[in-house]
Amino acid sequence: MGTVPLVVVGAGGFARETVGVVRAGAPGSGWTVRGILDDDPALAGATVAGVPVLGPTSALVDHPDASVVVCVGNPRSFTGRATLVERFGLPADRYATLVHPAATVPEDCRPGAGSVVLAGTVFTADVRVGRHVAVMPSVVLTHDVSVGDFSTFASGVLVGGGVSVGTGAYLGAGAVVREGVRIGEWCMVGAGSVVLRDVPPGEVWVGNPARRLREVRGVEHLLGRSGSASAP
């Protein structure tokens, strides 16, 4: 078992999947899950995925010796990780990076602090993945892809070579992105969409081929605060 305690922030599906990564023996992890923090008062004292809920997110200050991974966010509210990370104000070395042993991630493609990569994912060559990125099962990121902080890849996303994915972008399950395309910051690509051209920041694109549906709501304050893709 690992020797460094890990606190998981969030008690939803992504958090439970992340606990599973630790239990599967993420390479070089050295962590054991101490518990979960979640702001739902109904979870106080409960057990999630066999792990105790230690309290609300504000209780993180009670665990200064623990590594942290923030596992919140869904298509209806995919800015949550960025909001919590900003509020915590922790240095990068407090955050764990977790890669499932059944994922293929070469050493030169290691994701940044706080990122989680689930089983069946494949990074090929010279893939750059930023901080606090969520990569669901069976995602494929091919050569020279660049991914900004706080991005989310739902299961089965396929990304061609040389694609740039902006900070906070959300790519829905089964989306396909053509090589060389730029995905703007804080945008959303719908499930099953086929992206053949650049997606501007802060927009929702859906369909095959993908086209603009509307603006993303609630991200106006985030647009322009970071580059289109951040290095780990």
**80 CB-near residues (< 8 Å, 6+ apart):** 72, 73
Catalytic-labelled residue, pool 63, 100, 132, 143 = 143
Give every CB contact of residue 225 below 8 A, 6+ residues apart in sequence: 167
Residue 102: partners with Cβ closer than 8 Å, 6 or more residues away: 24, 119, 120
β-sheet bridge partners, residue 165: 147, 183
CA distances from 109 to 42, 106, 129, 139, 231 (A): 39, 5, 7, 14, 11
Q: Where are the beta strands (DSSP E) in 71-139?
A: 98-99, 116-117, 122-123, 128-129, 134-135
Q: For residues 149 and 228, what is the distance between their CA atoms, to the nearest angstrom?
A: 9
Cis peptide leading into 209, omega within 30 of 0?
Answer: yes
Spatial contact of 193 and 213, defined as CB atoms under 8 Å apart: no
3-state secondary structure of 94: helix
Q: Contact 26/100 with Cβ under 8 angstroms?
A: yes
Is 132 catalytic? The answer is: no
How far is residue 232's CA from residue 219's CA, in Å, rounded to a whole number? Answer: 23
Residues tagged active-site: 143
